[in-house]
A and B are shown apart, each in its own frame.
Chain A
Amino acid sequence: MSAEDTPKDYSESPISLEYQYTAGSATTRFLNQVREGKLVGQSCPKCKAVYVPPRGSCPRCGVATDIEVPLTDKGCIESFTVVHIPIPGNPIVPPYVCAMIRLDGTNISFLHLIQEVDIEEIRIGMRIQAVWKPKEEWAHSLENIKWFAPIDEPDIDVRTLRFQEL
């Protein structure tokens, strides 16, 4: 390291991009139900796979998924990461757990937070359930679910999480 490598070598260089986000029709229908505290997936008419959040089509079959499937807010951890490093602007204090959540009866997972758990206990297949915000705070957002927390049910067989061939 030379004498020139001093702290003043750094300059603030923030970048921001402003978007107008438009949810498609599938996401709009999904979020309208989330607003009411309900999780509703969509199922493929061909391969029967259930997607949540639905994107309106089946990536395997290439067909529209217009069959709505009401879901429970229970599921299991498909995969997880323990985050130890703080991210600027993120209000969650490390260590915390981000997990891919597989809701019961679905064939795809989504990312959410796990709390109310001893980090040493986290494992793939662990049973969890959504912890919802108070109803008066509900909006068109999956943030209506504060996080998922473990429930007192036996782990699922992780082989059931594997990709199912058609």
Chain B
Amino acid sequence: MNDQKDLLRAPFELAYTYKRSNGPVMSKFFDGLGEQKILGTKSRTGKVFAPAAEFDPDTHESLSDMIEVGPGGTIESFSWIDNPKHHHLLKKPFAFALIKLDGADTSMLHMVTNCNESDLSIGSRVTASWSKTQEKRITDIQFFNLET
């Protein structure tokens, strides 16, 4: 039998080259991001889902009525990342946060940075900071900053 130290080891990468079909509703959401707009969908009962949802999970209604929300919002929940790893998009301390955008009834997962952990609390006001180039992706919002 080999000693533990004699075992063969090698790095291994499993990668899939997916193309995602966005569908008619999410396409409008991503097109909106390309124009620096955050779009939600509004149900017949008046509930606004942001990011846009294709169906109302309570009533099962198909949603297509697009409505602009944000760019400001409030933090509903957050998790502070003090030491970002190589796979994180931000290389400085930040928080993953659920953000309820102004005009929306649901919250969106994104990042909040340029602050300390102690500056954040549930209910803190934040606003979207846009990336320099828009690619119709969720990363078109670079991150959220605390409102000053």
Residues of A that sit less than 8 Å from B by CB: 2, 4-5, 8-25, 27-29, 31-32, 66, 88-89, 140
Q: How far is the CA of A24 from the CA of B17 in the complex (A)?
A: 30
Q: What class of interface size applies to chain B in its complex with A?
A: 20 to 34
Cβ–Cβ contact B17 & A18, under 8 A: no
Q: How far is the CA of A10 from the CA of B26 in the complex (A)?
A: 10
- Chain B residues closer than 8 Å to A8, beta-carbon distance: 27, 31, 136
Name B87's closest neighbour in chain A (CB-CB): A18
CB distance from B2 to the nearest CB of A (A): 5
Q: Is the interface of B mostly helix, strand, loop or mixed?
A: mixed
- Chain A residues closer than 8 Å to B27, beta-carbon distance: 4, 8-9
Q: How far is the CA of A17 from the CA of B87 in the complex (A)?
A: 10
When each residue 1-27 of chain B gets 1 if its CB lies under 8 Å from chain A and 0 otherwise, what string results?
A: 110001111111111111111111001
Cβ–Cβ contact B20 & A28, under 8 A: no
Cβ–Cβ contact A10 & B20, under 8 A: yes
Cβ–Cβ contact B9 & A25, under 8 A: no
Nearest 9 CB-CB pairings of A with B: A16-B15, A13-B20, A4-B24, A23-B8, A21-B12, A19-B12, A88-B17, A17-B14, A13-B18
- Chain B residues closer than 8 Å to A19, beta-carbon distance: 11-14
Q: Given A16-B13, A25-B2, do A11 and B8 touch, yes or no (CB 8 Å)?
A: no
Q: How far is the CA of A27 from the CA of B9 in the complex (A)?
A: 11
Cβ–Cβ contact A25 & B19, under 8 A: no
Can you name 8 extra interface pairs (CB under 8 A) apart from A12-B20, A20-B10, A23-B9? A9-B22, A9-B23, A11-B19, A12-B18, A15-B16, A18-B13, A20-B9, A25-B1
